Every structure is written in structure tokens, then in C-alpha cells.
Amino acid sequence: MAVPATGRGPGIIVIHAWWGLTEFFKQVCDRLAGEGFLAYAPDLYSGATAKTIEQAESLSSKLDRKAADRKVVEAVDYLRSDPRLSGDRIGVIGFSLGALFALTLACNRPDTVSAVVLFYGTGTGEFDKAKAAFIGHFADNDSYEPTEEVSSLEEFTCRWKKRYILYIRWQKTLVHRGKCSNRVRLRRG
């Protein structure tokens, strides 16, 4: 648990990518605490981490999805029971593999999750149950996250009339999409 200097703050769950709970994700929690948030990252792999793509693929292929879902829910309950938490709703940040769990959490705990940030990951589920605001960061040339799945996520959020922003890097252009009819192109550089 990363705690802000004030000792209290709104809560954020950080869900790691297929690399496991590496130092990078712990530093994300520390940075969030530096911004005033109470941040907690569950360890879906129970201590195992990967240094190569092959190791990461092996870890993620052995992951028990139901057990990992339970760990995420337990992390939320742990965070929400902490007296240093301000407010009763939380945000969740999911990186790659963690994005799937972030989306699932938003659907399964709609009255708990108020915001979801996705980095290079999508998923499937009963998204119409979610009440959260969404922001997603995706790349156009990601062999692990097909453009079709990102587009599908955008269609769902548009249909739900949820608050969302999707950032997609198309070639050398950053595309900012929000509220379906409000699309703005920003040139990089």
C-alpha cells in the first residue's frame, strides 16, 4: 500500500501487466501516493515476475482467472476497509493483462468503481453494468491487442453513453475520441 503524505486519500487499485508485480508497478503506486492517492497493487502471480516475453507468456498462460478475479476483489475490499481511504468509491488502473481485470471489476462492482484507466488492454464482459468513467491508451500496431477489440470497446462505451476517452496512436497522429460525436485529432511533434 502506498500512502500519501497527508495520511489519507482517495483509493486506486493498480493491476499489473503480464510481467507480474514488478518494481515498475510498485513505483506507479508510489507516484500515485505522491499525488495524494492511497494506492494498492494486488499480486496476481503471488510473487512471480517475468523478465522476458517468453516468461511473461508462461506466467499469464498459467494464471487461474477465477483466483485472480478473487485477488482483485480482495484488494478492493482491503483498500475500502482501510481507515486512510477518503470516499467510498475507487479508481482502477489496468496495464495490459491488468486491463481485463480492471474492466471486469468495473462491471462486477459498479457501485464501487468510479473510474477506469486502461493501458494497452481490453476484454469482454457485461460492460453495460459499469458506471465508471473510462480512459484508454492504445497503440495501432499492437499484436497483443487487436484494433478490432479496441474499436469494439469504443462502440460499447458509445452505446452505453458512458463517459469515456480513448487515446489511440494511429501512425504519427494521436487520436482523441470522446463522447462519440466529439472527436479531435491532435498532431504529435
Whether residue 174 is contained in a domain is answered as yes
Q: At 137, is the pLDDT very low, low, confident or very high (cuts 50, 70, 90)? A: confident
184 has pLDDT over 90? no
Is 93 a member of any domain? yes
Residue range 43-52: mean pLDDT, rounded: 95
Mean pLDDT of 134-148: 70
As a residue count, the chain comes to: 189
- pLDDT digit string, tens, across residues 97-119: 999 999 899 889 989 998 888 88
Is residue 35 in some structural domain? yes
**Cβ atoms 95, 15 nearer than 8 A:** yes
Average pLDDT taken over every residue of the chain:
80
The span from the CA of 30 to the CA of 184, in Å, is 32
Per-residue pLDDT reduced to its tens digit, 52-95: 989 999 999 999 999 999 999 999 999 999 999 998 889 999 99
Please report whether residue 3 resides in a domain.
no
**Mean pLDDT across 19-45:** 95
Mean pLDDT of the 39-53 span: 95
> Quick one: what percent of the chain has pLDDT higher than 70?
70
Number of domains observed in the structure of the chain: 1
- Give the pLDDT of residue 94: 93
Handedness of CA 167, 171, 173, 177 (dihedral sign): negative
Q: Is residue 25's pLDDT more than 80?
A: yes
Terminal alpha carbon distance of the chain: 37
Does the pTM exceed 0.85? no
Averaged pLDDT, 39-56: 94
Give the pLDDT confidence score for residue 174 in this predicted structure.
38
User: What is the C-alpha radius of gyration for the chain, rounded to an integer number of angstroms?
Assistant: 16
Q: Is 1 part of a structural domain of the chain?
A: no
pLDDT above 50 for 150: yes
Domain holding 125, by residue range, is 9-187
CATH number at residue 116: 3.40.50.1820
Q: Give the list of residues 6+ apart from residue 126 with CB closer than 8 angstroms, or none.
A: 107
Does residue 108 lie within any of the structural domains? yes
Reported confidence tier of residue 178, pLDDT bands at 50, 70, 90: very low
| Residue 45 pLDDT class (50, 70, 90 cuts) | very high
- Distance from C-alpha of 126 to C-alpha of 142, rounded to nearest angstrom: 24
Does residue 38 belong to any structural domain of this protein?
yes
